[in-house]
Structure 1
């Protein structure tokens, strides 16, 4: 733990902040045109809807929305998914009075579109050689436009918007949050894309392994990845953030996860998991403890 808590974010490009601020400003000029249609899900506490909205590049984003059956909607939450995508909404998130949007980031699950592969090994490489067109930038824009869609659908939640993201969704959230002041609290669970210099070296499976192979074959990829480093971006986040980071993780090396937490300059809270992306004896116990912490953390939203 002492070593993990000392891992600082890597150096950043001189124009890192202007690169992202200009992208955000362009994205905010778009009207997401959100649409909800009755879905097939059934739950005693929520009405489930199919979600669609427009993102940058005229990309149609699909997903789900949950609206409480009882009481007014007082908070809004956007929930990001892991690199496996998602096949439905999560009903167990402990935020009372919240309407939830579960967008699928471009190329994945309900937002599949040729020629983007939904296989994480290939998705993570899509346009990786083009700084302004790398797929991760588009996914960040999908998150910003999800917040716009949320506020179009539920204007009353302005000032009470949160983001939760796991793994892939955690890394995308760290890249997105510094520039979008509409989001007031966030949780990242085993977030990826932290500290790319280490991510390219440490043993990993999944998308990180694919990027390592690309680096060995082509080289110079850090010139691009430095703009998409979640640990660098974390240094610009000013809202309270709760992070669940794992001590062992085959897919997202723990030093990368902790570098994101360490980079956060403001109010932050850490929940340490024994393992990430794996089953383990205390998994259910730790998941329940984490949900209890998140209930308290988001009660202040």
Structure 2
């Protein structure tokens, strides 16, 4: 089935994105990582009510950027070899880390599993706030007003990206985990966080992002898909810049949290899932990221599928991660 709203597949394979990249992008993220390293994570493990015969299940809490207490589900096998591999899981936009049950397959295969709750969304993580402008909803634009005033470190997704790094570091430091055998996966927002985590923590060895969010914001605007997951961009313009006087500056500041610019830092092997009918995270915005990855990579393309379950992909990801 031909694409009706985005670029033809042959053009997608070379598309490089149109969102502006901040001139100090690399320095911004190096400074952010240095800040993260200065924070005592104060890790706390609390046994969960849910347990399984072959798994220990915990609520994991740590302190992230801005002093927020961040939560993740942690499951580890009760038997098997140590050190063993681990998998980081990241959830979709507005959601949470999900049930314990859907992580047990990896635990049964000998993995420690850590599933993050994004701060300020449906899970148990804390959002410490502290920004000006719209906070009714919309994490893409949270802190954008401050970024336009010269403080891009206020962008909420900057802190969420750093939370993925801190979680990876905590898991890698666990005595029963092999830090050289850690992977990450997630769908939509979770796919974006998978990319960000592997870019900012280069020890990650395998990643499986599926139709990731948070890329090439200006392209989303250009193809008139600033709705659904990206609707808050339109809301920002309508409420804070109705004549688009600041349009170029807005997209440039969003560039700090555009995963396409993090992609060249990835050293992990990549298995990427995409549906070419995806109007939530348009294919061109995904290829803008994928085409910048220089590590080994493979894309699984579903021509007739949108932002929805992709048959057989969970199985492929499981088999891929067993290679850790």
Smaller-chain TM-score range?
0.7 to 0.9
Query: 1:39 aligns to what?
Result: 48
Query: 2:296 aligns to what?
Result: 267
Query: 1:211 aligns to what?
Result: 233
CA distance in 2 between partners of 1:177 and 1:201 (Å): 28
1:140 paired to 2:149: no
Q: CA deviation at 1:197?
A: 1.5
Q: CA deviation at 1:144?
A: 0.9
The CA deviation string for residues 86-123 of structure 1, in whole angstroms up to 9 with x for no partner, is: 24343265573210111212112111446589x99423
Unaligned runs of 5+ in 2: 1-8, 242-246
1:67 paired to 2:80: no
CA distance in 2 between partners of 1:188 and 1:228 (Å): 17
Query: 1:88 aligns to what?
Result: 99
Q: CA deviation at 1:46?
A: 2.5
Aligned residues between the structures: 293
The 5 A counterparts of 1:46-195 are 46-73=55-82, 74-86=84-96, 87-89=98-100, 90-91=102-103, 94=106, 96-108=109-121, 109-113=123-127, 115=129, 121-129=137-145, 130=147, 131-154=152-175, 156-195=177-216
Q: Which runs of 4+ in 1 moved over 6 A?
A: none
CA distance in 1 between partners of 2:136 and 2:294 (Å): 31
Are the aligned partners of 1:46 and 1:67 in contact in 2 as well (CA < 8 Å)? yes
What root-mean-square deviation, in Å, do the aligned CA atoms of Structure 1 and Structure 2 show?
2.5
CA distance in 2 between partners of 1:43 and 1:32 (Å): 28
SS in structure 1 of the partner of residue 159 of structure 2:
helix
Are the aligned partners of 1:245 and 1:254 in contact in 2 as well (CA < 8 Å)? yes
Unaligned runs of 5+ in 1: none
Query: 1:6 aligns to what?
Result: 14
Are the aligned partners of 1:32 and 1:54 in contact in 2 as well (CA < 8 Å)? yes
SS in structure 2 of the partner of residue 160 of structure 1:
strand
The CA deviation string for residues 209-234 of structure 1, in whole angstroms up to 9 with x for no partner, is: 11133135423311201121111211
1:251 paired to 2:260: no
CA distance in 1 between partners of 2:306 and 2:176 (Å): 36
After TM superposition, the score normalised by the length of structure 1 is 0.87
CA distance in 2 between partners of 1:249 and 1:204 (Å): 13
SS in structure 1 of the partner of residue 88 of structure 2:
strand
The CA deviation string for residues 11-32 of structure 1, in whole angstroms up to 9 with x for no partner, is: 5222211211221122123232
